[in-house]
Structure formats: C-alpha cells, structure tokens
Amino acid sequence: MERLDKILAEAGVASRRALKAVIRAGRVSVNGQVVRSPEAKADAAEDAITVDGIPIRRKRTVVLALHKPAGYVTSTEDPRDATVMELLPEAYRNLGIVPVGRLDKETEGLLLLTNDGALLHRLISPRHRVPKVYEAEHVGEADPADVAAFAAGLTLRDGETCLPAELTPLGPGRSRIILHEGKYHQVRRMMAARGMPVTYLLRVAEGPITLEGLPRGQCRELQGEELRRLTD
C-alpha cells in the first residue's frame, strides 16, 4: 500500500504538490469511492484508481542501466553535487526510480536504477550474491598472495571483514575485482589494505548486465531476456 498522491505522481498524472489539490477537490476515486485525502493509501497494482473518471496507467516497473561518469554522486538529491538522477531523460524522472546501491563520486561505470522495491532489495542483499565486476587501475602489481588474501575474505585496515572476493591481475597497475557485496568504498579499501591504492575505478558488470555498448553518461532501459535474467 502506498500514498495516493505518490501513486498518482508516479503514474505521471501531475506533480505531488498539484495532486493534493486534485484529490481534495474530489476528482479521484479508488474502487468507485471518492477519496479526498492525499494521505489515503491504495494498492497501485490491485485497486481501480481514476482521475475525473479516467483510469490511471498502472505503475510501470522500470530498470535502467546507466554508464555513470566521474563527478556525479549516487543519490536522488544533493545540496552540492550533481546527482546521477540528472543524467536520466525527463521521461524517467517521475517514476520513483532510485539507484541500486551506490558508486562513489569518482567511480565510473554500470549503475542500475529501478522503481521495483523487491528487485532493489534482491540486488543489494549480500545473501543473493549478485556479482559486481570492477576494473581498477592502481599503484603496484597484484601478486598471488593478494589473490589468495581476496579469496580468503580480506580484513580491512579498520578491522571490518569482507566476503571472499576474486582478484585477477591484468598486468602492472591493473586488476579485475569481483565482489558479492557492496560496503562503503569497498574496492578502494580492499586494494589499500593490500598496499595498492586505486587511481581509477570502473564497474563493468552487475549480475548478467554489462556496460558493453553503453556510452559514458547514457542510460538504457532493460527489457526482455536481459531483464528476465536479472530478475530470475
């Protein structure tokens, strides 16, 4: 159950502020009953909701893949910095879409966004072990001892422990890292714990979704088979 004004805003009827007046004017009905309170709750998927007698569009579930550039914060609002939401086309702005987890301001690469609460929870929960693949440029060169330390579950400098992770050296100063969780600054802190501070970080995949073919700063809506593989 969600607030009626939120459901109507996400269906694209009007802004939440304008909707308060629309609802108070008695123009909105839920299952045939006029509702005059914007705080009233309804079920967007089940209830028959009309405005001026016209049924609203059902809430559309959207999953977006964004190629985040450096310099944008992963948040829906920020008093100082540009947010990843500013990179989304206008049509996606009022659907209640939020980022799935976060990338640091300076990290680039794949960021998923969705308005599907259950999917959001599944993708960020370490229990579901959704792999996140990163490519890092860093000081030094990873060796077999580093690979073993990642595989065993690294302890960070502050004593926090990580789930087993995969580290693959890609040559001097370059490594691929695969994590199944998303702690704050995790890749940077793991690499720092092994004496290899990160100078550039790119997320190239999350579960079955990859960054391939998606230009920096652009997003695309996941559909069909790709969406099924993510949600299965």
Task: Tell me the catalytic residues.
Answer: 104
Q: Which is nearer to ligand URA, 75 or 94 (CB)?
A: 75
Q: Which is nearer to ligand URA, 95 or 191 (CB)?
A: 191
CA gap 154, 79 in Å, rounded = 35
Query: What's the min distance (Å) between Cβ of 188 and ligand URA?
Result: 4
Q: Is residue 188 a contact residue for ligand URA (CB under 6 A)?
A: yes
Q: Is residue 67 a contact residue for ligand URA (CB under 6 A)?
A: no
Contact 161, 190 (CB under 8 A): no
In the list 20, 180, 185, 216, the residue contacting ligand URA (rule: CB under 6 A) is 185
CA gap 222, 64 in Å, rounded = 6
Q: Is residue 107 a contact residue for ligand URA (CB under 6 A)?
A: yes
Q: Write out the two tokens for 182.
A: 């998303």
CA gap 97, 20 in Å, rounded = 21
Neighbours of 130 (CB within 10 A): 22
Which region among 86-94, 152-160, 182-190, 206-214 touches ligand URA (by CB under 6 A)? 182-190
Phi, psi for 212 (deg, rounded to 5): -50, 130
Q: Is residue 175 a contact residue for ligand URA (CB under 6 A)?
A: no
Residue with tokens 């929870």: 121
Contact 106, 70 (CB under 8 A): yes
Q: Write out the two tokens for 135.
A: 């490519």
Q: Is residue 181 a contact residue for ligand URA (CB under 6 A)?
A: no
Query: What's the min distance (Å) between Cβ of 78 and ligand URA?
Result: 16
In the list 187, 202, 211, 222, the residue contacting ligand URA (rule: CB under 6 A) is 187
Q: Count residues binding ligand URA (CB under 6 A).
A: 8
Q: Which of 149, 130, 146, 135 is CA-nearest to residue 203?
A: 135
The 75-104 site mask, x for binding ligand URA (CB under 6 A), equals ----------------------------xx
- Give the interface with ligand URA as residue ranges (CB under 6 A): 103-104, 107, 185-188, 201
